[in-house]
């Protein structure tokens, strides 16, 4: 008898569970109603301004989702500050893993008001997202006056996202090894010629075996190669901005210089580990070329290693560009959202862009040079070595545009073929160029190199 009762109970509980599993959160959202348009707050911003003293969605409740892949607390604090001003707006932060974000987001953006209204953007995925994005309801000229990289994001006179900060390459050096080699701050090299001498001093070999690399670029071939070739004045794309040009003199010289570091100067070795970041963290390499995110990597994995940063050396005193940069983007707005959500999202974006303090905290977190001109001289930001290193010549850094992955991927393969398989530089770069050309012909990509202020000087 008891078995029957147990069986019936189990079956019923399973039915109940299943029915509960199917119930989506369909209850009508009952948020707060805002009746006070006068918040008593000051207008924020310089050219892109935000006047908080108004009602959003006529004060009626509205709910938004904001999808991110990182730092939910930090981005959430921006949402919280906005919600305090407009209590009728609720912004739900949905944090996602980076790996699956770009698979799920385009699917979710088709869900209209049930999908995310706001979502963080990475410019390398612009081609995936643009069809779902609504342009910012902010004057483009105002954006360009406040954010020095905004112009490069203009598409047919509209802006869908901009950078809140930019990241680029720099040389990271181990301070203990630097001191042990008898080097001081005065020895920080400005040119690659000087850099090679410093690297030699930092190199330790025992019985012909490399113990400490003076400079290690393993795993960074494609990034360093692009940096040096820009210095020589060779752009990555032709004047139409659609065809790759990676077999120019500048690129060949750049690769040759990199090979010389290892083969002639013997300051490092292609077989000295495949990951220069790890080698630096483990105290085996004295200098590495890394982008700003390395600051976070070191804080997470090797917090006790003392290191400094200096600007990437140059081939001559007046290089075409010091390096390329890439931006970290402001959120996109889902054009499929409901009109109420769109109104709130546009208002929130204006608040975000006029709020220099919040942009500052984002730049601090990611070690980014701020794109907002109002933050250029900010003392707190300049204390960050990665930001400080690039601050002097920031206008001489070039952005090639939202580069498709094919360029980096094929340059990486070319680097491996040249370094490990001993293939000829010219032939290998030509092969990579041909593959990239085919890939780009299937994409709607136009480089932004022509927007660079020294573009007319390229070779």
Partner 1 sequence: MKKHILKYSLHIVLALVGIITILPFAWMILSSFKSNEEISALHQTLLPKTFTLENYVSLQSNFDFLRYFANSVLIAVIVTVLVVYISCLCGFVLSKYKFRGRNLIFGFVMMTMMVPWSVTIISRYTMFMKAGLQNTYLSLILPVMVSGFGIFMMKQDISALPDELLEAARIDGANEFRIFHQIVLPMSKNSISAIAIFQFLWVWEDYLWPYLMIDSDKKQLLAVGLTMFNGRYATDYGGLFAATAISIVPVIVVYTIFQKRFVAGVAAGSVKG
Residues that bind partner 1 (CB under 8 A): 7, 14, 17-18, 20-25, 65, 69-70, 94-95, 97-100, 103-104, 107-108, 111, 114, 278, 281-284, 293-294, 296-297, 300-304
Place of tokens 């938004």: 64
Q: Please count the other Cβ atoms lying within 10 Å of the Cβ belonging to residue 368.
A: 28
Helices and strands, number each (H, E), in the chain: 17, 15
Q: Which is nearer to partner 1, 176 or 434 (by Cβ)?
A: 176
Q: Which is nearer to partner 1, 115 or 332 (by Cβ)?
A: 115
Tokens of 345: 């999202």
Q: Which is nearer to partner 1, 69 or 455 (by Cβ)?
A: 69
Collapsing DSSP to helix, strand or coil, 326 comes out as: strand
Per-residue CA distances from 306 to 170, 173, 263, 293, 355 (Å): 16, 9, 28, 16, 34
How far is residue 78's CA from residue 75's CA, in Å, rounded to a whole number? Answer: 5
Tokens of 379: 């003392």
H or E, element range at 382: helix 379-382
Q: Least distance from C-beta 72 to partner 1, angstroms?
A: 9
Q: Least distance from C-beta 186 to partner 1, angstroms?
A: 31
Q: Least distance from C-beta 277 to partner 1, angstroms?
A: 9
How far is residue 347's CA from residue 343's CA, in Å, rounded to a whole number? Answer: 6
Q: Least distance from C-beta 133 to partner 1, angstroms?
A: 19
Q: Which is nearer to partner 1, 136 or 291 (by Cβ)?
A: 291
Q: Which is nearer to partner 1, 96 or 355 (by Cβ)?
A: 96
Q: Least distance from C-beta 300 to partner 1, angstroms?
A: 5
How far is residue 459's CA from residue 235's CA, in Å, rounded to a whole number? Answer: 8
Q: Least distance from C-beta 154 to partner 1, angstroms?
A: 26
Q: Least distance from C-beta 15 to partner 1, angstroms?
A: 11
Q: Which is nearer to partner 1, 241 or 296 (by Cβ)?
A: 296
Q: Least distance from C-beta 282 to partner 1, angstroms?
A: 4
Q: Which is nearer to partner 1, 132 or 195 (by Cβ)?
A: 132
Dihedral, 186, 191, 193, 199 alpha carbons, nearest 10: 50
Interhelix angle 356-366/339-354, nearest 10 degrees:
80
Place of tokens 């869908």: 160
**Nearest by Cα to 279 from 164, 147, 349, 177:** 177
CA angle 353, 356, 359 (to 5 degrees): 75
Q: Which is nearer to partner 1, 297 or 455 (by Cβ)?
A: 297
Strands 89-95 and 62-68: parallel
Q: Which is nearer to partner 1, 17 or 405 (by Cβ)?
A: 17
**Nearest by Cα to 287 from 225, 226, 214, 362:** 214
Q: Please count the other Cβ atoms lying within 10 Å of the Cβ belonging to residue 149.
A: 22
Q: Least distance from C-beta 106 to partner 1, angstroms?
A: 11
Q: Which is nearer to partner 1, 341 or 447 (by Cβ)?
A: 341
Q: Least distance from C-beta 52 to partner 1, angstroms?
A: 28
């Amino acid at each position: 008898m008891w078995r029957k009762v147990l069986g019936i109970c189990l079956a019923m509980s399973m039915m109940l569970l299943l029915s509960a599993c199917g119930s989506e959160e369909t209850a009508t959202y009952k948020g707060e109603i805002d009746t006070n348009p006068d918040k008593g707050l000051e207008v924020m911003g310089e050219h892109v301004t935000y006047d908080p003293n108004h009602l959003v969605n006529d004060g009626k409740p509205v709910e938004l989702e904001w999808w991110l892949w990182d730092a939910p607390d930090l981005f959430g604090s921006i949402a919280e500050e906005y919600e305090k001003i407009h209590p009728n707006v609720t912004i739900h932060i949905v944090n996602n893993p980076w790996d699956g974000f770009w698979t799920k987001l385009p699917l979710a953006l088709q869900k209209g008001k049930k999908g995310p209204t706001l979502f963080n953007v990475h410019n390398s995925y612009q081609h995936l997202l643009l069809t779902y994005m609504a342009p910012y309801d902010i004057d483009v000229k105002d954006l360009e006056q406040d954010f020095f990289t905004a112009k490069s994001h203009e598409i047919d006179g509209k802006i869908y996202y901009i950078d809140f900060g930019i990241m680029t390459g720099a040389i990271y050096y181990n301070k203990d090894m630097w001191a042990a080699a008898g080097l001081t701050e005065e020895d920080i090299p400005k040119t690659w010629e000087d850099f090679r001498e410093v690297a030699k001093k930092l190199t330790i070999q025992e019985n012909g075996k490399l113990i400490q690399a003076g400079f290690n670029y393993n795993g960074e071939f494609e990034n360093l190669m692009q940096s040096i070739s820009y210095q020589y004045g060779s752009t990555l794309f032709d004047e139409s901005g659609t065809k790759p040009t990676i077999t120019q003199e500048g690129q060949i010289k750049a690769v040759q210089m990199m090979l010389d570091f290892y083969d002639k100067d013997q300051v490092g070795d292609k077989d000295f580990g495949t990951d220069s970041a790890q080698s630096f963290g483990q105290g085996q390499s004295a200098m590495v070329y890394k982008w700003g995110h390395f600051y976070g990597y070191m804080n997470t994995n090797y917090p006790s290693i003392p290191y400094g940063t200096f600007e990437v050396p140059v081939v001559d005193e007046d290089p075409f560009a010091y390096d390329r940069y890439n931006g970290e983007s402001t959120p996109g707005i889902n054009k499929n959202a409901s009109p109420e959500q769109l109104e709130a999202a546009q208002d929130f974006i204006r608040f975000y862009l006029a709020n220099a303090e919040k942009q500052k905290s984002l730049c601090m977190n990611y070690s980014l040079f701020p794109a907002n001109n109002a933050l250029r001289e900010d003392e707190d930001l300049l204390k960050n070595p990665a930001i400080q290193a690039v601050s002097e010549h920031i206008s001489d850094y070039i952005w090639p545009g939202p580069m498709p992955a094919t360029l980096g991927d094929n340059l990486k393969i070319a680097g491996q073929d040249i370094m490990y398989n001993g293939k000829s530089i010219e032939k290998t770069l030509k092969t990579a160029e041909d593959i990239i050309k085919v890939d780009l012909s299937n994409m709607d990509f136009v480089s932004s190199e022509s927007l660079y202020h020294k573009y007319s000087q390229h070779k």
